[in-house]
Amino acid sequence: MEAKYWVGVVGAKHAVSGRERGICAFSHGKHQAISRLSPGDRFAFYAPREGYREGDVVQAFVATGTVGDGDPFETDFDGNPAWVRAASYDLETRASVRALLDSLTFVSNPKNWGMAFRRSLFEVTSEDFASIETAMRNTE
C-alpha cells in the first residue's frame, strides 16, 4: 500500500509532546481521525498557536513524521484521553506557512489561507508534502 500524506492542525506544544513520547494524535485524540492513517503514512503538523487555542501565534509547520506499526491505542495525552499511533519524527523546526501559500495546492485562495487549516486533519499531495519538508529543512 502506498503511503498517504497528511497535515494535522495542532498546538506547537502538542507536536513536541508527541515527538517526546513517540506517538501522534489528531483531532483532539478522536479515534475516527487516527484510524484514517496507516503505518508508513507521513504527516506534517501545522501549529496556529503554541497551545491549540491559546498562547503565542506560531502559524508554521512545526514537525513531520511517519506513522509507525501497530493499531491505534488509547492513552493519556497531556492530561486528556486520546487515541494515538506510534510515530517517528523526522523534522522539528518552524517553517512559516506564509512563505508557502502560493505553492500549496490545498490553499485555494492565499488571501484567505486560514480556511485551508480549519480542518484538523486532511490529506495532501506528495508534492505539497515535499514543499513543506523542503521549507522546514531550509530553516534548520
pTM above 0.75, yes or no: yes
When the candidates are 3.40.50.2000, 3.40.50.920, 3.30.110.30, 3.10.590.10, the CATH number that belongs to 5-137 is 3.10.590.10
| φ, ψ at 127 (rounded to 5°) | -65, -45
- Residue 31 is given by DSSP the state H
| 109, three cell numbers | 485562495
pLDDT tens-digit readout, 4-39: 999 999 999 999 999 999 999 999 999 999 999 999
For the chain, the structural domain boundaries read 5-137
| Neighbouring C-alpha atoms within 13 Å toward the C-beta of 30 | 8
Torsion angle, alpha carbons of 91, 93, 97, 98, to 10: -140
pLDDT tens-digit readout, 58-104: 999 999 999 999 999 999 998 899 999 999 999 999 999 999 999 99
Q: What average pLDDT does the chain have? A: 94
pLDDT at 87: 98
